[in-house]
Chain A
């Protein structure tokens, strides 16, 4: 039999098949944050089941509203904090050490090729960038994950997405994934794994692959997956060097998690991205996508650079390259949120934070806050935001607000213009 990566991971983790097309998998990691986990904790307590399957395999962070903004969010943090302490969960990241979950967990080396991971957060699909099967789940699935270390899934039907060619300068992973979602639609990958491969993916850094996989859910996908390669090994090396004699040995082991030639796919899409332009969304659905050129001139009120999609060091570097020595328009508010403390420190060292500040940006602590209108940058009704996040639903960043999803380069260029604009990085590459 020939298998896809996801099928191989399922075969290696299946503990039960209670019914046809129902696979109960053993989990290698359960990730938790303070929005969806506290209700799971209080429910487990109410059931007299306040237990965890393995405190070392549970990782927790306070990231959505931090520092707490009111008594309710303070209570959510407290429930998670007390629970982590009570059960000896060592990898708990509280304020001062916390960052956006899908940035900080991979950065800490918690994601490995071949892993099964769940989290009560739909963007858990991000971690497939490492050749893992990682899926967002609701609170009940999370509860069972915490309690038993298992989760049930249907058979992992897979869509193969070949990204061929070479991206032009000024065109990034975000533009590629917005284009893919436009082509597949918001329902195009529902109940399916999206396997990304091809020369464009081969050349991508782990950060860029995380951007790609992060938005799989916006096409309905269960998980995005990239094959592990030397880029994956290099990213993880500090965490795995005691397990392997050499990087080549690690690569050999991880190569288990590559789809077999001749594996069965539900669909195969092939896109040549050599002529792809920077992309941006225009409506309330992530598949409503146009080129930046077509949308250029659209007035914006706020720019947000951050999130689990595009708050990593590479993203900040690109934006800073455009902002250096420039000022953002007087008509806009600029907010940048480095996704983790390590990214923040690195940006400080490289002078990137200073560039943002000199340009007129407000620099916030690492948090998810603004992306879903919970804190740190909520829009007023009728306002619009140029945002490097992943979701443009009605009211997402504030009731009555509009969100235009785009790359950090486009966001930085748009901040300077006060309206949606292509970055000079792209113009030079035309």
Chain B
């Protein structure tokens, strides 16, 4: 069972593309685990060091259009093998977003003001975030305090997360 809780990595940029998440030269790998060391290797973001900043993180919070570009499911897989099963953004590229849910992972969209608030309040702090699937709540914990934020995902996406992905669901149903 995947966990939807852990420390947060803030990536303060829009349009982070699939080639930045996992460069094409690693697409010759045929196991997900092999992708682990290369995550976000080519990310253009000042001060970001993929070798240091990924460690112990389980959630990414970012801006608009995360995962644009290629259809490669290697992008969510690279996150998954690094124990990151939740990405929260203002918006996602279509294929990336669907790939996340198809793998039973969360791609949660929040309005711009909420994303701005999360960056403004927590980006420089040590934050733990938990997604409570059944209550549609995100719980943010920081410096001994916690707060809840509502989120909405479609019934189809929720079903995919609960069923553990699209393949088993579709094979039963169609």
- Interface positions of A (Cβ within 8 A of B): 15-16, 18-22, 24, 35-36, 38-39, 42-44, 47, 49, 64-65, 70, 72-73, 75-76, 79, 119-122, 124, 136-141, 143-144, 147-148, 150, 152, 186-187, 190-191, 217, 220, 222, 284-285, 372-374, 391, 393-396, 399
Considering the chains assembled together, what is the distance between the CA atoms of A26 and B173 in angstroms? 13
Among B19, B42, B44, B174, the residue within 8 A (CB) of A16 is: B174
Complex contacts, A120 vs chain B, CB 8 Å: 71, 73
- Taking A15-B174, A38-B30, A394-B44 as contacts, is the C-beta distance between A140 and B102 under 8 angstroms? yes
- Taking a contact as CB atoms under 8 Å apart, the answer to whether B155 and A20 are in contact is yes
Inter-chain contact B154/A190, CB cutoff 8 Å: no
Which residues of chain B come closer than 8 Å to A139, judged between CB atoms?
A: 73, 99
- Contact status A190-B44, CB under 8 Å: no
Report if B70 contacts A (CB, 8 A).
Answer: yes
Q: Are A222 and B94 in contact (CB under 8 A)?
A: yes
Residues of A within 8 A of B167 (CB): 43-44, 47, 49, 140, 143-144, 147
* Inter-chain contacts of B165 with A (CB < 8 A): 140
A191 touches B17 (CB 8 A): no
**Are A220 and B71 in touch, CB under 8 angstroms?**
no
A285 to B23: give the CA distance in the assembly, Å: 15
Could you say which interface size class chain B belongs to? 35 or more
Q: In the complex, which of the residues A16, A122, A186 contacts B95, with contact meaning CB atoms closer than 8 Å? A: A122
**CB–CB B102/A284 < 8 A:** no
Is residue B28 contacting chain A, with contact meaning CB distance below 8 A?
A: yes
Could you write out 7 A-B pairs with CB less than 8 Å apart? A35-B72, A72-B30, A144-B167, A186-B68, A187-B64, A190-B65, A374-B27
Given A138-B98, A187-B68, is A22 in contact with B30 using a C-beta cutoff of 8 Å? no
- Contact: A220 with B93, CB < 8 Å? yes
Contact A393 B17 (CB under 8 A): yes
Given contacts A72-B30, A144-B170, A394-B20, contact A187 B69 (CB under 8 A): no
| Shortest distance from the beta carbon of A193 to any chain B beta carbon, whole Å | 11
Given contacts A147-B171, A148-B171, A394-B42, contact A76 B95 (CB under 8 A): no
- State A137–B99 Cα separation when bound (angstroms): 8
Q: Does B124 contact A (CB under 8 A)?
A: no
A6 to B11, CA, bound (A): 35
Partner of A391, one of B29, B69, B93: B69
Chain B 45-89, CB-CB to A under 8 Å as 1, else 0, gives: 000000000000000000011001111110010000000000000
Is B151's CB within 8 Å of the partner chain A? no
Tell me which residues across on chain B come within 8 A of A18, comparing CB atoms. Answer: 156, 159, 173
A187 contacts B65, C-beta separation under 8 Å: yes
**Using a CB–CB distance below 8 Å, which chain B residues touch chain A?**
14-15, 17, 19-20, 23-25, 27-30, 42, 44, 64-65, 68-73, 76, 91-96, 98-99, 102-103, 154-156, 159, 165-168, 170-171, 173-174
**A372 cross-chain contacts in B, Cβ below 8 A:** 19, 24, 70
A368 CB to nearest B CB, Å? 10
Cβ-neighbour of A137 out of B28, B65, B98, B168 (below 8 A): B98
Q: How far is the CA of A217 from the CA of B42 in the complex (A)?
A: 21
Min Cβ gap A334→B in Å is 22
* Nearest B residue (CB) for A24: B174
A140 to B73, Cβ gap below 8 A?
Answer: yes
Do B94 and A141 have beta carbons less than 8 Å apart? Answer: no
Answer whether A138 and B71 are a contact pair too, CB < 8 Å, given A394-B19, A399-B42.
Answer: yes
Q: Are A187's CB and B166's CB within 8 A? A: no
Which residues from chain A contact B17 at a C-beta distance below 8 Å? 393
Taking a contact as CB atoms under 8 Å apart, the answer to whether A137 and B30 are in contact is no
- Residues in chain B near residue A220, CB distance under 8 A: 65, 68, 93-94
Cβ contact within 8 Å between A399 and B93: no
- Set of chain A residues within 8 Å of B156, measured between Cβ atoms: 18-19, 21-22, 152
CA A44 to CA B170, docked complex, whole Å: 13
A73 near B28 (CB under 8 angstroms)? yes
Q: Please, how many angstroms separate the alpha-carbon atoms of A119 and B96 in the complex?
A: 14
CB-CB under 8 A from B71, the residues of chain A are 36, 119-122, 124, 136-138
Residues of chain B contacted by A76 (CB below 8 angstroms): 28, 30
Cβ contact within 8 Å between B64 and A148: no
A84 CB to nearest B CB, Å: 17
Q: Is the CB of A284 within 8 A of B99?
A: no
- Give every chain B residue within 8 A of A70 (Cβ-Cβ): 28
Q: Which residues of B contact A122 (CB under 8 A)?
A: 69-71, 95
Q: Which residues does chain B contribute within 8 Å of A22, judged by CB atoms?
A: 154-156
Most buried by B among A38, A43, A148: A148
CA distance A396 to B70 in the complex (A): 11
Assembly CA distance A118 to B168 (angstroms):
19
Return chain A residues, CB-CB under 8 Å to B92.
Answer: 190
Chain B's nearest CB lies how many Å from the CB of A216?
11
The distance in angstroms between the C-alpha atoms of A21 and B95, with both chains bound, is 16
Alpha-carbon distance between A197 and B100 when the two chains are bound, in angstroms? 33
For the complex formed, measure the closest distance between the CB of A298 and the CB atoms of chain B, giving whole angstroms.
20
Residues of A within 8 A of B159 (CB): 18-19
Asked if A285 contacts B15 (CB within 8 A), the reply is yes
Q: Chain A residues with Cβ under 8 A from B64's Cβ?
A: 187
By a CB distance below 8 angstroms, the chain A residues around B15 are 186-187, 285
- Establish whether residues B23 and A141, one from each chain, have CB atoms under 8 Å apart when the complex forms: no
